[in-house]
Amino acid sequence: MPDAQAVSARTRVVRESHRGVYDRETAYQVLDEGFICHVGFVLDGQPFVIPTAYGRVEDNLYIHGSAASRMLRNLDKGIPVCLTVTLLDGLVLARSIFNHSMNYRSVVVLGTAVAVLDATEKLAALKSLSEHILPGRWAESRQPNERELKQTLVMRLPIAEFSAKVRQGPPIDDEEDYAFPTWAGVIPLQMVPGTPENDPRLDPKTPVPAYASRYSRK
């Protein structure tokens, strides 16, 4: 079911509107599978789009970085933000160059981010960022100390105004082009983890944890 709150004039998909999706389940599947978001904002008339890691806890996204970060310091002033995540699933090769495409899933979130000041929420947000990328790692790593926490700024962006856009399936050619003698179809793409490589200074007796040797985004 579409989330009526999420659909607005700003988030409604206009181009290829049939690909627009407005339910949280679809949006959260994309957000939970992705690694990197791109954060867009305007500062003194200059647009910026910054890639960064993120984490999700229920209906909030968290991003973090140095307390000296230009992006985070300005987001903390209440400027509007646009956060996007895109997953590329395949290259779609049509018979005509004009109809080539890609299979993808994407999410756009609009809103205003606020700094996380509560110490408990801040630590939970940092844990969500870590667990989003590598589930199981947080518990086996040294936790942030007081100095590191002071040097880190965490921002919370509510997932209130959002939309997803999805393209799946084979190429769509003009009817007269289906007789054109060239291969057409989809080249699936996926992220495949390699074999973990030990840190040169690692104790050779230390085993590779299962969350690293069996890593998967699915």
Q: Left, alpha or beta for 136 (phi > 0: left; psi -120 to 50: alpha)?
A: left
State how far the Cα of 67 lies from the Cα of 7, in Å rounded to an integer.
33
Per domain, the residue ranges of the chain are 17-89+102-170
Span 211-217, mean pLDDT? 91
List, as one string, the DSSP characters of the chain: ---TTT--TTTS--TTGGGEE--HHHHHHHHHH--EEEEEEEETTEEEEEEEE-EEETTEEEEEEETT-HHHHHHTTT--EEEEEEEEEEEEE-SSGGG-EEEEEEEEEEE--EE---HHHHHHHHHHHHHHHSTT-GGGSPPP-HHHHHTEEEEEEE--EEEEEEE-SS----GGGGGSSS--EEEE-----------TTS-TTPPPPHHHHT----
What confidence tier does 101 reach under pLDDT thresholds 50, 70, 90?
very high
Provide, rounded to the nearest whole percent, the portion of the chain with pLDDT above 90.
Answer: 84
Give me 55's structure tokens.
Answer: 């984490």
Span 164-180, mean pLDDT? 96
The pLDDT mean for the chain works out to 93
The pLDDT value given to residue 29:
96
Give me 166's structure tokens.
Answer: 């999805």
Q: Which range among 32-36, 51-55, 109-113, 213-217 shows the weakest confidence by mean pLDDT?
A: 213-217
User: Are the beta carbons of 163 and 30 closer than 8 angstroms?
Assistant: no
Residue-level length of the chain: 218
Nearest to 90 by CA among 71, 74, 103, 101: 103
What confidence tier does 48 reach under pLDDT thresholds 50, 70, 90?
very high
The pLDDT value given to residue 10:
82
What CATH architecture does domain 17-89+102-170 belong to? Roll (2.30)
pLDDT reading at 16 higher than 80: no
The pLDDT value given to residue 193:
93
The pLDDT value given to residue 37:
97
What confidence tier does 45 reach under pLDDT thresholds 50, 70, 90?
very high
User: Are the beta carbons of 101 and 185 closer than 8 angstroms?
Assistant: no
60-66 vs 46-53, strand pairing mode: unpaired
pLDDT tens digits for range 49-98 = 999 999 999 999 999 999 889 899 889 899 999 999 999 999 999 999 99
Question: CA dist 13 to 16, 21, 80, 166, Å?
Answer: 7, 8, 19, 11
State how far the Cα of 127 lies from the Cα of 130, in Å rounded to an integer.
5
The pLDDT value given to residue 150:
93
Nearest to 162 by CA among 25, 16, 18: 25
